[in-house]
Amino acid sequence: MSPTPMLQIESLTTTFPGERGPVPVVDDLSLTLTRGEVLALVGESGCGKSVTALSILRLVPRPGRIERGRVLFGGRDLRTLPVAQMRAVRGAEIAMIFQEPMTSLNPVLGVGAQVVEAIALHQPLPRQAAWQHAQQLLALTGIPDPVGRMRNYPHQLSGGMKQRVMIAMAIATRPALLIADEPTTALDVTIQAQILELLRELRQQLGTAVLLITHDLGVVNELADRVAVMYAGRMVELGSREQVLSEPRHPYTQGLLRAMPARARRGQRLTEIPGVVPAPQHWPAGCRFATRCPLAQALCHEVVPATTALSPTHEVACHAVARADWPMPRAGSQRLSLPHTLGPSGPSGPSGPSGPSGPSRSPSSVQQAERGAASDGRPAQAGAGSAAALGREAGAPLLRVEELRTWFPIRSGTLQRSVGWIKAVDGVDLICPAGRTVALVGESGCGKTTVGRSILGLERARAGRVYFDGVDLLALSPRQLLPYRRALQIVFQDPMASLDPRMRARDIVAEGMISFRIGANDRERTERVAELMRRVQLDPDQMGRYPHEFSGGQRQRLCIARALAVGPRLLICDEATSALDVSIQAQILNLLRQLQDELQLSFLFITHDLGVVRYLADRIAVMYLGQVVEEGSTERIFEAPQHPYTRALLAAIPATDPARRQARARVRGDVPSPARPPPGCRFHPRCSEAQARCPIEQPPLFPWADGRSRCFLAAQPPSGGPAADQQARSTADERGSAPARGDS
């Protein structure tokens, strides 16, 4: 790698117009990138990383504009290039791939045509030669049957394949720099592993430098050489991968790493970063992280910290790091946000008393009553996790799902006859004990969301039984089901879409109360709303606001409050934290655990994020194509997974420990369509251990260890055999020593 930087960004400032003048969404950013290296630009939503990428290519959408700075690429300042020359740079020398493969390809043009277009823009080739070249590119990116794919349309391709096509288009001209804006965020974990492997290979083969923009520190660990952390438009830390991930020095980076559930101990509170990211209109003077920083002093609120070089490769922008005599906070104390810094209203307002040491509120009478009703002698908060985990009673099964099937008809023809079925859920068994968390895990399209909705009656199940307190909910009429609705509630993924934008917070939370006639009159209901808001750590004075005036995390709390309003016993969390930033996710996960302790709630946690699952769940059920393929306690599944799919899933998770880079794509290909599931065992076409009888016979759920597994290998003599032991050991080795857990 040549030491001379290929890309040099100096003091880049990009502004967008705001109510009180232009807002610097990217503020005085300086970076260098040398040939062939991968630099990751990390930050949460709104930190300006995507705008940085667009600024390099001069593609900032109006009314934003690049105010100051230089972008030197190969010696030339891209900002001063005439437009025609800039166009020649884009695509040929600097290429970009985007986050959403679904919408990045033109749906009315064939795949081949689009790749050829990308080639032809910069290399005048005769048609035949261009077509061949395109085919070679597709093969290079690992698309099976590239010749056939050339004639396909984008909608005939899966998400992973579309992303490969995008990458093929991007590398068509062997660009020196590839900017990847969240390239794997929209993809499943196994596909993500494949794409990361592809990017690694391409970088090796072609020597392309990559500017990787992401919020996922696991992806950063897998791919990056150097890491730059951004917060509110400014860069706060820059260093090598090992330096930033193992020894972060900026309080924000430290907080981010500590907030990740994958790095946390089971049973312990996640370390939150208090407060929320301030909105651009309300950025404070001085250090923008000061309002949330445990080390903040008066200086931080007034003076912007300069960059301190801790080593030739590691620099941090923080006053505390620069000065040796910085007062350290007392152990356990945390700073709450200062009132003067943020606007009078809007999402940047202090979100109530949400300090990481827990809300300082006096327990209301209702709370006392509820605590009294629950089993006594337990602490209200999960301190040293194990005590609480053991203290939770292994309740009788609250919910028992048997043989659940939900099929969607495929209608076709003038009379709209059903010509086939999408077997979204095809024989699912689940048990949710009282007061525990069961996680339903799987990739997109496996049917886990449909399971949740079928249990609640939001989708019509075709067959099966859902026993709640001994009563089969599916056999009830809508009227008979109504009283049971109180006990089963749901929190959705998208906090934006979950709240009616035309209703005030108070009305939203009170909606369920009105339909179940909880609270005799308006005043009582309002009181209860206030109490619920306090319980989810929201300020009750904000109950007159509309959803858009809350931040994402606050909206999700509102959804939780709405669900709690009717007194449920089981809460289905359908990807409830997937759309939230890591630091906000930590707050919500802590809240959920607290609620579980206080109210003896059970959770059915539907998610694809195995890090969260490991932290939160007691039992895991893994789904694939509408069926449960493995089930067991969390520890057992992570330590010794039996089913090949589970093993592949776990192997694909990127680790955040820089000592281990191990996301391996152990499964090839894409998930088959649920309308035409493979015969026999549904996983057999992608399974590395398929045997002769797998395509013929569908395996039932065999008992295995403390759960079950749907694999013929599980029917063989269990873990006593040497082969199985070897498997289990090698899996554990690959993941390295599992992080210490609370002793449960």
Partner 1 sequence: MQLWSASNLVVAGLLLAGLTLLLIGRRHRLWREVLVQLRRRRPLALLVVAGYVTVALLDSVRWVGGVDAGGDVVAQHEARSVLDRLFAGRRERSYSAPLADREFYGHAPLRHPGGHLLGTDILGRDVLLLTLKGARVALLIGGLTSLIAIPLALLFGVSAGYWGRRIDDGVFFVMSTLASMPTLLLLIALVMVLGRSTVAVCLALAVTSWVGFCRLARGETFKLREMDYVQAARALGVSDLRILLRHIVPNLMHLVVITFVLMFSGLVLSEAILSWLGLGIEGSWGQMIDQARDELSRDPAIWWNLAAAGVALFTLLLAVNFVGDAVRDILDPRTRREPT
61 binds partner 1 (CB under 8 A): no
Site track for partner 1 across 135-164, x = CB under 8 A: ------------------------------
Are the C-beta atoms of 294 and 329 separated by less than 8 Å? yes
Site string for partner 1, 223-262 (x = CB under 8 A): ----------------------------------------
Minimum distance, C-beta of residue 275 to partner 1, in the bound complex (Å): 17
Structure tokens at 180: 């990847």
Which residues, 496 to 515, sit near partner 1 by CB under 8 A? 497-503, 508, 511-512, 514-515
Q: Does 480 bind partner 1 (CB under 8 A)?
A: no
Our finding on whether 579 is near partner 1 (CB under 8 A) is: no
Q: Does 100 bind partner 1 (CB under 8 A)?
A: no
Token digits for 78? 């891209």
**Contacting partner 1 within 333-372 (CB under 8 A):** 346-347
Site for partner 1 in 679-708 (CB under 8 A): none
Q: How far is the CB of 156 from partner 1 (least distance, A)?
A: 24
How many residues touch partner 1 (CB under 8 A)?
A: 37
Binding segment for partner 1 among 77-85, 195-203, 238-246, 480-488 (CB under 8 A)?
A: 480-488
Tell me whether strands 209-214 and 38-42 are parallel, antiparallel or unpaired: parallel
User: Minimal CA–CA distance to 508: which of 521, 534, 526?
Assistant: 526
Distance CA 629, CA 667 (A): 16
Distance CA 336, CA 314 (A): 29
CB 173 within 8 A of CB 196: no
Q: Identify residues 447-466 at the interface with partner 1 (CB under 8 A).
A: 453, 456, 458
CB of 497 to partner 1, least distance (A): 4
Q: Is 171 in the site for partner 1 (CB under 8 A)?
A: no
Q: With respect to partner 1, which residue has the nearer C-beta, 467 or 516?
A: 516
Evaluate the omega torsion of the peptide bond into residue 61 and state whether it is cis, within 30 degrees of 0.
no
**Which C-beta is closer to partner 1: that of 341 or that of 493?**
493
Question: Does the protein bind partner 1 through residue 305 (CB under 8 A)?
Answer: no
d(CA 542, CA 505): 8
Question: Least distance (Å) from partner 1 to the CB of residue 409?
Answer: 12
Integer CA distances (angstroms), 128 to 124, 125, 670, in order: 12, 8, 30
Residues 546-565 that bind partner 1 (CB under 8 A): 546, 548-549, 552, 559, 562-563
Among 10, 242, 370, 494, binds partner 1 (CB under 8 A): 494
Q: Between vectors from CA 282 to CA 272 and to CA 340, what angle results, nearest 5°?
A: 75
Distance, C-alpha 507 to centroid of its chain:
30
- Binding status of residue 22 toward partner 1 by CB under 8 A: no
CB 560 within 8 A of CB 595: yes
| SS3 of the chain: helix, strand, coil, percent, to 5 | 35, 20, 40
Q: Which residue's structure tokens are 């077997």?
A: 423
Centre a 10 Å sphere on the Cβ of residue 375 and count the other Cβ atoms it contains. 11
Reference 177, options 79, 56, 60; nearest CA is 56
* Nearer to partner 1 (CB atom), residue 394 or residue 514: 514
Cα 307 from Cα 8, distance rounded (Å):
17
Q: Residue 383 CB, nearest distance to partner 1 (Å)?
A: 33
| Minimum separation from the CB atom of position 346 to partner 1 (A) | 6
Alpha carbons 672 and 683: distance in angstroms, whole number: 9
* Burial call 537-550: b when 16+ CB within 10 Å, e when fewer: bbbbebbebebebb
Query: With CB under 8 A as the contact rule, which of the stretches 185-193, 357-365, 404-412, 490-498 interacts with partner 1?
Result: 490-498
Q: How many CB atoms lie within 10 A of CB 92?
A: 17
Does residue 215 belong to the site contacting partner 1 (CB under 8 A)?
A: no
By CB under 8 A, name the binding residues for partner 1. 279, 281, 346-347, 453, 456, 458, 482, 485-486, 488-490, 492-494, 497-503, 508, 511-512, 514-516, 546, 548-549, 552, 559, 562-563, 566
